[in-house]
A and B are shown apart, each in its own frame.
Chain A
Amino acid sequence: MPSFLVRSASRARTLLELLQHLLKRRRFFMIPLVLVLLLAGVLLLLSEGLSYVAPFVYTIF
């Protein structure tokens, strides 16, 4: 499992590529929009990406 730094650098690169893409396509208004959404997504991070944990039991509720 790569280190936290490596993973962060990787994701930073992805963000940069996303930015470059939106600039190339001239979707300027989407850039601040995406940034706001990503900030909201920090909440997602806190819940660890919201990956669904199957209960593996015979749940009723």
Chain B
Amino acid sequence: MARTITMREAVNEALDQEMARDPSVVLMGEDIVGGAGSPGEDDAWGGVLGVTKGLYAKYGRERLLDTPLSESAYIGAAIGAATCGLRPVAELMFIDFMGVCFDQIYNQAAKFRYMFGGKAETPVTIRAMVGAGFRAAAQHSQMLTPLFTHIPGLKVVCPSTPYDTKGLLAAAIRDNDPVIFCEHKAMYDMSGDVPEGTYTIPLGEAEVVREGNDCTIVAYGLMVHRALEAAQALSTESISCEVIDLRTLSPLDLDTVLESVESTGRLVCVDEATPRCNIAADVSAQVTQQAFSALQAGIQMVTAPHTPVPFSPVLEDAYIPSAAKVASAVRRTMGKE
């Protein structure tokens, strides 16, 4: 039965249900229980934003492993354990911290299967918060998805709704390849209908979240909502937009995008990541290569600027792609701006 819960609760529920159905699922991360070794140990925090709260009481210290502040060691341990029969879900609090443990992800987890001739399976999920909007400045706000889609051997997910979050996280945990699961921190309080029971959404399937005829807008994560806002605003100008939520960035469901562009003839790619070699640029290049003849106008990209994320609220608001910028890009493809 569906009821309305937040994305934070959807993450928690997916973790809970996957731990219940599979005893090899263990959680690791900094403060995922919170207060380990302190007087108020039991579920003191449940993660810095409370996402894992309540799980310790159900599964205990054995399966909820608070870690030292030591990302290289515990992300690597999650990866090593994944090759030895466990199915770890490691929380890397902010994706910005990936820098200190990146080797374990892109040289180890991502490469085992190929480098070892197809023998290895590394069923690890690494959850991390992504995105700007928290006034958290340059080192806690990045959208680093393109770093991971660049690496063969990794899968990358970035959902935009509580429903997708629960289903995609369950699929990621059950998947036998390493998955980077990106949760937009500005969306934890977003509510939506979510069934109580377990379900999965296959990795690598985009979703058409609004149908339209004039222009396709491709987005993921928080940007899906900006795209939908723009599409709504443009409808009053008699411009009909089709909005595609990529949901999974690797594998990338290009077919859904191509099918839409064949019908609309126009494409706007929206990405909260900085512009060079990002998801928007990737989709643009592939559509240009495979559907050039369908395009009636140059592809437009709406992205963050090529700068670090600023602290000042005024500057950060200007940094994040807005619905107005998306709408403006669509108008450009229509020759109306």
Are these two chains actual partners, yes or no? no
